[in-house]
Amino acid sequence: ISSSPDHAASPAVKPIQGMSKGLTNYGDKGFSLFLRKAFIKGAGYTDGALARPVIGIANTGSAYNPCHGNMPQLIEAVKRGIMLAGGLPMDFPTISLHESFSQPTSMYLRNLMSMDTEEMIRAQPMDAVVLIGGCDKTVPAQLMGAASSGIPAIQLITGSMLTGSHRGERVGACTDCRRYWGKFRAQEVDAAEIEEVNAQLVASVGTCSVMGTASTMACLAEALGMTVAGGASPPAVTADRMRVAEETGAQAVRMARQGLGIDQILTAKAFENAMRVLLAIGGSTNGIIHLTAIAGRMGFAVDLPALDRMGRETPVLLNLKPSGEHYMEDFHHAGGMATLLRELKPLLHLDAMTVSGRTLGEEIEAAGPGFAQDVVRPMSRPIYPQGGIAVLSGNLAPEGAIIKQSAADPQLMEHVGRAVVFENSADLANRIDDPDLDVTADDILVLKNIGPKGAAMPEAGYLPIPLKLARAGVKDMVRISDGRMSGTAFGTIVLHVTPEAAIGGPLAWVQNGDQIRLSVKNRELTLLVSDAELQQRRAAQNVTPPSAERGYRKLYLQSVLQADKGVDFDFLMPASPSGVVPKNK
């Protein structure tokens, strides 16, 4: 394949590009190609255009997805990059998922989006694909789908939103959304002011401006080597973001020419690098689930205890909300991922390959020496001495649970308390604000049945502080569930308790008044009830895991795996696993 336009236009060029690949089977290959050419010529393409490498662009623009509101400009820039590098851009739509507009949860739909992405990449002729995503579930879904499709792929992030201002205070989604709603519930902010701040929290299109799941996945995508260098941090509306888009398009053409496949990039080393970065950025707890799912598609199992051991030697360096104080645009001004990766260098596999065809180490070198800034701390002066996420286990979570220790209250991380149990989200909604609820600030709030099968794992693990306690000034309590929480949330919150209550996990056996011990220091989550009593409760239980009669919901409930397997579908994982990450160290 040649990049010379003359050569590309020459009829002597053999049809080795995407347009002639994997032809629809009419039983006559020549006729199939003839038809395909007729239709594409009907769209006004010349032979010269068709002789170029075909680069698919997964377009996830949607009126329902403001986080992808810059999609038209991004696609234009990607196309420019592809054409400058001698390729032919072909954008195509896939499902788009926004956190606030996806019922019952965006998590329920992530695997559907990954299947859509994988199958459209497979079905349509292309030599490489540019994946454009940003909002929480879209980047993991695209990486999962591309990993399974196996063709050269490159991720383009839509970019973060700008921050807004409320009465002189800088605000951004969604840590400040939660903070203000908490103030409103505590009657510290009135109805007029909560309405006023509502118009300032999302100041532009783009993804949430703190280190929520979207920013986390952007950083992980770059750490995995799946974006161009510097691809994680530019805000959505900046010239930097558009230049990244142009460069991404151009790089996709080079990847197609070089045959730089996704299997050369998504290696065990790449996943270990991403885990280091997840720990060092104080990243979203959802990042573990998504990384596990992406790794799973490449045949790797994620070893949670080993991740925890990595966490003990990987401090949080990034000073972003909710663990710290800054926003994504500040991270970008501080040099973005290059600044962070430079600090983390001793802990990274520098020989991991990236989409640029250079190693991660080479990209860090190319980014230069760095400069004075206060968003990324040096190893000697971390935000938090350990990784942001700790992995817990014990009789309440035999297959593990996690806590974002960097965003938790140090006073509560060693705590024994009385369980106040809610059977499901509806029960919680009915009783949490009841003035007669028997609850004190020292109790532990337990919410059951919000796991992968129980409720498609909503971000409901951030249980509200009971109204009467909130009004008395209580800001944090220990909360435990089998659900998730938003990456923008904070508090002493134990999540992803596995196995979940809905399939009869020990969480289902907890009763009001039981004592529970949380020790983050010892990585322990224990239900302080005798084994004999627990056996009795288990025997008395009659668990029928949820099921459905038809449609995607039926497929979901039949196939969804637990949190420690990334909440992927069993049939989407490769038949034979190829390894475990991180390596046991």
Residue 407 interacts with which of Mg ion, ligand FES, none, CB < 5 to 8 Å by class? none
| DSSP track, 272-321 | HHHHHHHHHTT--THHHHHHHHHHHHTTEEE-HHHHHHHHHT--B-B-BT
- The answer to whether the beta carbons of residues 54 and 18 sit under 8 Å apart is yes
Listed ranges 49-57, 207-215, 306-314, 340-348: which one lies at the site for ligand FES (CB under 6 A): 207-215
Per rule CB under 5 A, is residue 207 in the interface with Mg ion?
A: no
Residue 109 binds to ligand FES (criterion: CB under 6 A): no
* Residue 241: contacted member of ligand FES, Mg ion, none (CB under 5 to 8 Å, by partner type): none
- By CB under 5 A, is residue 564 in contact with Mg ion? no
CA distance 3 to 187: 64
Nearer to Mg ion, 143 or 242 (CB): 143
Nearest distance, CB of residue 173 and ligand FES, angstroms: 6
* Residue 98 binds to ligand FES (criterion: CB under 6 A): yes
What is the identity of the amino acid at 114?
Answer: S
User: Which of ligand FES, Mg ion, none interacts with 205 (beta carbon under 5 to 8 A by kind)?
Assistant: none
Rounded CA separation 526/453 (Å): 23
What are phi and psi for residue 356, nearest 5 degrees?
-80, -10
> Which CB sits closer to ligand FES, 157 or 501?
157
Residues making up the chain, counted from first to last: 585
Please report whether residue 213 would count as binding Mg ion according to CB under 5 A.
Answer: yes
CB 438 within 8 A of CB 446: no
176 lies in the binding site for ligand FES (CB under 6 A): no
**Measured distance CA(339)–CA(349) in Å, rounded:** 16
Residue number, 98 or 179, with CB nearest to ligand FES: 98
Residues 6+ apart with CB under 8 A from 416: 515, 516, 517, 518, 528
Strand partners, 493: 479
> Considering the complex, what minimum distance in angstroms separates the CB of residue 106 from Mg ion?
8
Rule CB under 6 A: choose which of 131, 132, 135, 450 binds ligand FES.
135
And the tokens for 247?
């460069």
**Residue selected from 91, 99, 118, 500 as contacting ligand FES according to rule CB under 6 A:** 99
Binding flag, residue 212, ligand FES (CB under 6 A): yes
Report the residue number, 207 or 425, with the smaller CB distance to ligand FES: 207
Which part of the chain contacts ligand FES (CB under 6 A), choosing from 97-105, 146-154, 223-231, 452-460? Answer: 97-105
- Characterize the bridge pairing of strands 88-93 and 54-59: parallel
Instruction: Give the CA distances from residue 539 to residues 482, 505, 551, 558, in Å, rounded to whole numbers and listed in that order.
Output: 21, 12, 33, 24
Which of the stretches 52-60, 136-144, 388-396, 535-543 binds Mg ion when contact is defined by CB under 5 A? Answer: 136-144
Residue 135, contacted partner among ligand FES, Mg ion, none, CB below 5-8 A by kind: ligand FES
Identify which of 355, 335, 292, 20 has the alpha carbon closest to the alpha carbon of residue 154.
355
N- to C-terminal Cα distance for the chain? 44
Of 284 and 339, the one with the shorter C-beta distance to ligand FES is 284
Neighbouring CB atoms inside 10 A of 542's CB total 6
Q: How many residues line the site for Mg ion (CB under 5 A)?
A: 5
Nearest approach in angstroms of CB 202 to ligand FES is 8
Distance, in Å, from the CA atom of 219 to the CA atom of 221, rounded to the nearest integer, reads 5
- Residue 192 CB contacts under 8 Å (≥ 6 apart), including other chains: none
Q: Which is nearer to ligand FES, 144 or 208 (CB)?
A: 208
> Could you tell me whether strands 169-171 and 164-166 are parallel, antiparallel, or unpaired per DSSP bridges?
antiparallel
146, 208, 347, 581: which one contacts ligand FES (CB under 6 A)?
Answer: 208
- The radius of gyration of the chain's CA atoms, rounded to the nearest angstrom, is 24
Q: How far apart are CA 232 and CA 220, in angstroms?
A: 8
> Which residue type is seen at 272?
E
CB of 328 to ligand FES, least distance (A): 10
Task: Pick the piece of the chain touching Mg ion (CB under 5 A) from 131-139, 373-381, 394-402, 526-534.
Answer: 131-139
Amino acid at 94: T
Residue 214 contacts ligand FES per CB under 6 A:
yes
Interaction between residue 136 and Mg ion (CB under 5 A): yes
- The H-or-E segment that residue 403 falls in is strand 397-404
Site for ligand FES (CB under 6 A): which residue of 116, 118, 136, 443? 136
Residue 356 interface partner, choices Mg ion, ligand FES, none, CB cut-off 5-8 Å depending on type: none
CB of 139 to ligand FES, least distance (A): 10
Selection from ligand FES, Mg ion, none that 207 binds (CB < 5 to 8 A by kind) is ligand FES
Question: How many of the chain's residues bind ligand FES (CB under 6 A)?
Answer: 11
| Sheet with 88-93: strands ordered across | 88-93, 54-59, 128-133, 153-157
Nearer to ligand FES, 160 or 386 (CB): 160
What H or E segment, with its residue span, contains residue 182?
helix 175-185
Bridge partners of 384, per DSSP, are 316
What one-letter code names the amino acid at 299?
G
Both tokens assigned to 459: 């971000």
Q: Is 486 in the site for Mg ion (CB under 5 A)?
A: yes
Q: Does 320 bind ligand FES (CB under 6 A)?
A: no
**Residues of the shown chain interacting with Mg ion in the complex, contacts defined by CB under 5 A:** 99, 136, 212-213, 486
Contact residues: ligand FES, CB under 6 A = 67, 98-100, 135-136, 173, 207-208, 212, 214
